[in-house]
Amino acid sequence: MRRRGFKFRIFIFIAVVAFAYLRKCSQEEVNPYTGKTQAISLSPEQEIAIGLQSAPGMAQQHGGLHPDNRYQALVDNVGQKLVNNSIAKETPYKYEFHLLADERTINAFALPGGQIFITYALFSKLENEDQLAGVLGHEIGHVLGKHSNERITDANFWKVIAMGSSAIDMGDVAQQIGQGQLLQNGRGDELESDELGVLFMINAGYNPHELIGVMKILKAAAGPNQIPEFQSTHPDPENRIEKIKEAINKYKNAS
């Protein structure tokens, strides 16, 4: 009876895995902005809705919006210049750029659908408008790359696998594998966004070499106790610099 029960659990597990795999395959499509094939489960309208719904809470976590309208206007102007001179203008996304009051967390991030944020802690360390363009161009790249959409789809895939794995006491293993996959995708997302950021900077008339300056600022901010690359969703700044140089040569030679 135990053997029969175990065989039944194996059958359930295989059926769940097959279902999850086939569903993910059916969600694959070519990203019209990057040419990359991705498993996508959210429509642009859903991405926009998620971003708009999440934006107030994200701002609140970072002390709200920065009160200086001059700084906010600069962020808006640079962000819109990048959008208006790139393929981003042709997308259905609604781009809004927010300067957060947070003076301690050096960060910038994008929500699905076009809500883009930069903390004052990072903004205040930037040396010129070109570096600001590099940061915002990178975040626009995340939106166009549908990276959040892809991660949500991956997460749902591994949740289903974990449910099936629980039938044979392998749920923890499946969850760990899923987390590793998401970590790997995160690094690829950053490198893709760096390359897109370079392209957007060039198209908008900014100096793409200043994105290298941003990487140096991030490396200096991390200090000597920087988290090893394999433990982080972000590639090491030195590795990113090499990829940025390659992207600059690629797009400069193409123009």
Structure confidence at residue 164 (pLDDT): 54
Q: Exposed, middle or buried, 205 (CB in 10 Å: 0-12/13-18/19+)? A: exposed
Task: Provide the domain count of the chain.
Answer: 1
In the predicted structure, residue 10 carries a pLDDT above the cut 80 = no
**Does the global pTM surpass 0.85?**
no
* Pick from 57, 134, 53, 61: nearest CA to 101: 61
pLDDT digits (tens, 9 = 90+) for 189-209: 889 999 999 999 999 999 999
In the predicted structure, residue 34 carries a pLDDT above the cut 60 = yes
Domain span holding position 70: 2-254
Instruction: Please tell me the distance from the alpha carbon of residue 230 to that of residue 187, in angstroms, as a whole number.
Output: 9
Residues 124-145 have a mean pLDDT of 97
Residues 70-78 have a mean pLDDT of 98
In the predicted structure, residue 150 carries a pLDDT above the cut 80 = yes
Residues 102-119 have a mean pLDDT of 94
Structure confidence at residue 13 (pLDDT): 60
DSSP SS3 for 86: coil
